[in-house]
């Protein structure tokens, strides 16, 4: 055992330096307790200390996200202060000194303190800092960046992460998320920033008037193109900040019969009724669907905690409620946007999705005479589809429940505007005696029944993922699921291997956040009429099951 009681001297000294430099007394005391226990021989504390000091929290294309804890590898005030100092330096170095920067926050643990530190550092650095008046959805921040012609925006949020996390999301002057190499440049500026206690802060910042939130609501409420408004809606914000704004937007659009899941209506950073506050997770929408059944709703809407994602629930033909997949909602909204588009305002429209989403949007775009593009995963790429600037973009979506239905309003995913547009479509269908399920069936007949699934294989560590991808490329099969396939390697654009065959597509890539290989499966079956869809679904499900088994075996090596 070393003189440090089992703690490497370099780690001990780094922890002492971080404690001395930390701007937050509570965080200093927290790390001191962990260090003292580690030095006393507590093995668990030593491991905890090593993890907390394992290197700075990485600044990626979505900014920062991590566990709330003291130390350089966590979300805390010292990390936020230094990150903001780095962002300020990057903005100055790129000719944006003194410009407007908008700062927003959700209602998570730490968000109020973090957003005050962000505002304080930027104000001291000479920027015109405008702080949103209260915890609000991320799309409101993205809207505000565009509306105020800001040089940047920062939203303190961890979206749908677990309760113990928080994050720091950056938008630049077009109201879009940052992309490489900007993330690496900001990270370098953060690394060069002084200790948090040495970073100046000021209270010379202003609060944005509520009228800006009203402008956002009015903009969203103006999106519907139909006149039908007879629709009963069940909605949950999953304990996040989207409930109030979402209901206001729906009512402003004329959808006044809205029932909110009472147990999940108010913002609560502990997310007490769900094990994981993500509408995609099993069980997360159980309370919503129970409410929808109880009140006889026509549509169920789930927003994630920062309201940038939207999931829809429908009553199926057997009378049971289910949540639509992101791809199902994506093609419904894509077809709606293109069907109602003002071509005088958008003569050359573009729609986009990602390489791992369903390919059905391509056929929908062709039918409407619109351009189509597939991008890498993430809205930072989707809003730049086509020419790298998103010229002509009218709609974009990703299978993970993100939808951008009004790029000129919010150039990012926006669950609230997606919900309003979905209600517009559902109400028009209801007035004609039809449902979203009917609309999906009709799209399937026109464009093919696209069935999708995912396979994930967890590996031991992130380092194993790259070697697993390399090994996979060395043993590409000639046949999967009983169908011949050809391979396409998407490197260097993306570390993805595509396998394609007749009515079949498989996209294999590493997870960006976990030591996993993920495969996105798609089977396309044809039906001449809605009467033939049930048989086509049976064929597709059988094919998807066979495909899934082969892909699992392939990923496991």
Give tens-digit pLDDT for 187-225: 999 999 999 999 999 999 999 999 999 999 999 999 999
On the 0-12 / 13-18 / 19+ scale of CB atoms within 10 A, 10 is: exposed
Which tokens belong to 327?
A: 């791809």
Q: What is the mean pLDDT of the chain?
A: 96
**Neighbour-count burial of 2, counting CB atoms closer than 10 A to its CB (0-12 exposed, 13-18 middle, 19+ buried):** exposed
Q: What is the predicted pLDDT for the residue at 200?
A: 98
* Structure confidence at residue 514 as a pLDDT band (50, 70, 90): confident
| Per-residue pLDDT at 471 exceeds 90 | yes
Helix, strand and coil content of the chain, in percent to the nearest 5, comes to 40, 20, 40
Q: How far apart are CA 153 and CA 142, in angstroms?
A: 7
| pLDDT score for 5 | 60
159 is catalytic: yes
Q: According to the model, what pLDDT value does residue 447 have?
A: 98
pLDDT 10s digits, 86-105? 999 999 999 999 999 999 99
Neighbours of 453 (CB within 10 A): 16
CA dist 190 and 390 (Å) reads: 29
CB crowding 42-75: b at 16 or more within 10 Å, else e? beebbebbbebbeebbebbbbbbbbbbbbbbbbb
pLDDT at 248: 98
Task: Provide the 8-state DSSP code for 102.
Answer: E
Q: Do the beta carbons of residue 352 and residue 375 sit within 8 Å?
A: yes
Q: Does residue 286 sit in helix, strand or coil?
A: helix
Position 173 scores a pLDDT of 81
pLDDT, mean of residues 394-418: 97
Under 8 Å between Cβ of 356 and 399:
yes
> What region, left, alpha or beta, does residue 548 occupy, with left being phi > 0 and alpha being psi -120 to 50 degrees?
alpha
Taking alpha carbons only, the member of 298, 191, 202, 318 closest to residue 255 is 298
Give a three-class secondary structure readout of 105-168: ECCCCCHHHHHHHHHHHHHHCCCEEEECCCCCCHHHHHHHHHHCCCCEEEEECCCCCCCCEEEE
pLDDT for 488 equals 96
The span from the CA of 448 to the CA of 533, in Å, is: 10
DSSP code of residue 269 = T
| Mean pLDDT score, 265-283 | 96
Instruction: Give residue-wise pLDDT tens across range 94-150.
Output: 999 999 999 999 999 999 999 999 999 999 999 999 999 999 999 999 999 999 999
Residues 179 and 62: their CA atoms lie apart, in Å, by: 8
Structure tokens at 201: 């802060």
Crossing angle, helix 9-21 and helix 43-52, to 10 degrees?
Answer: 60
Is 509:518 a contact under the CB 8 Å cutoff? yes
**What CA–CA distances, in Å, run from 116 to 120, 133, 150, 202, 216?**
6, 12, 18, 10, 23
Give me the mean pLDDT over the 430-459 stretch. Answer: 96
pLDDT digits (tens, 9 = 90+) for 280-318: 999 999 999 999 999 999 999 999 999 999 999 999 999
Catalytic residue among 111, 159, 193, 358: 159
How high is the pLDDT of residue 461?
A: 82
Structure tokens given for 20? 């001395």
CB neighbour burial string for 296-311, b if at least 16 within 10 angstroms, e if fewer = ebbbbbbbbbbbbbbb
Whether the pLDDT of residue 265 is over 70: the answer is yes
Q: What average pLDDT does the segment 523-529 reach?
A: 97
- pLDDT in the model for residue 64: 95
pLDDT at residue 457 greater than cutoff 50: yes
* Residue-wise pLDDT tens digits, 1-29: 344 467 999 999 999 999 999 999 999 99
């Amino acid at each position: 055992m070393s003189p440090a009681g089992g703690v490497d001297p370099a780690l001990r000294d780094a922890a002492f330096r971080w404690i001395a430099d930390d701007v937050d007394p509570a965080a200093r005391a927290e790390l001191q307790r962990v260090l003292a226990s580690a030095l006393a021989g507590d093995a668990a504390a030593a491991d905890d200390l090593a993890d907390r000091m394992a290197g700075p929290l990485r600044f990626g294309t979505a900014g920062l996200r991590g566990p709330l804890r003291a130390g350089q590898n966590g979300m805390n005030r010292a990390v936020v202060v230094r990150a903001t100092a780095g962002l300020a330096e990057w903005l100055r170095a790129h000719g944006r000194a003194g410009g407007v920067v908008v700062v927003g926050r959700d209602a998570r643990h730490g968000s109020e303190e973090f957003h005050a530190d962000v505002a304080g550092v930027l104000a001291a650095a000479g920027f015109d800092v405008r702080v949103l008046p209260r915890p609000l959805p991320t799309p409101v921040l993205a809207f505000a960046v565009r509306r105020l012609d800001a040089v940047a925006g920062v939203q303190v949020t961890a979206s749908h992460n677990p309760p113990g996390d928080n994050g720091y999301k950056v938008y630049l002057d077009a109201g879009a998320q940052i992309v490489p190499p900007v993330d690496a440049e900001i990270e370098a500026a953060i690394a060069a920033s002084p200790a948090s206690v040495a970073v100046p802060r000021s209270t010379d910042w202003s609060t944005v008037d509520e009228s800006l939130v009203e402008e956002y609501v009015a903009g969203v409420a103006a999106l519907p193109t139909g006149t039908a408004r007879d629709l009963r809606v069940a909605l949950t914000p999953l304990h996040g900040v989207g409930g109030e704004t979402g209901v206001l937007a729906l009512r402003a659009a004329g959808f006044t019969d809205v029932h909110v899941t009472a147990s999940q209506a108010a913002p609560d950073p502990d997310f007490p009724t769900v094990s994981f506050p993500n509408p995609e997770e099993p069980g997360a929408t159980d309370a919503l669907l129970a409410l929808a059944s109880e009140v006889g709703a026509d549509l169920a809407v789930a927003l994630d905690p920062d309201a940038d994602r939207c999931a829809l629930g429908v009553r199926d033909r057997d009378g049971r409620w289910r949540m639509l997949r992101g791809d199902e909602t994506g093609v419904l909204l894509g077809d709606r946007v293109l069907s109602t588009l003002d071509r005088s305002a958008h003569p050359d429209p573009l729609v986009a999705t990602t390489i791992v989403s369903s390919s059905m949007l391509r056929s929908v775009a062709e039918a409407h005479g619109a351009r189509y593009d597939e991008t890498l995963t993430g809205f930072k790429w989707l809003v730049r589809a086509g020419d790298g600037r998103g010229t002509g973009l009218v709609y974009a979506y990703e299978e993970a429940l993100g939808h951008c239905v009004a790029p000129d309003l919010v150039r990012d995913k926006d669950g609230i505007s997606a919900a309003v547009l979905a209600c517009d479509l559902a109400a028009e269908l209801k007035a004609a005696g039809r449902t979203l399920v009917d609309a999906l069936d009709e799209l399937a007949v026109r464009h093919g029944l696209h069935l999708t699934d995912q396979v994930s294989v967890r590996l031991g560590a992130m380092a194993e993922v790259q070697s697993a991808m390399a090994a996979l490329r060395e043993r590409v099969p000639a046949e999967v699921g009983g169908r011949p396939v050809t391979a396409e390697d998407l490197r260097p654009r993306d570390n993805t291997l595509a396998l394609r065959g007749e009515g079949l597509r498989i996209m294999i890539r590493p997870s960006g956040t976990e030591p996993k290989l993920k495969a996105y499966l798609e089977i396309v079956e044809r039906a001449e009429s809605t009467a033939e869809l049930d048989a086509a679904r049976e064929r597709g499900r059988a094919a998807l099951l066979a495909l899934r088994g082969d892909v699992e075996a392939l990923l496991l090596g």
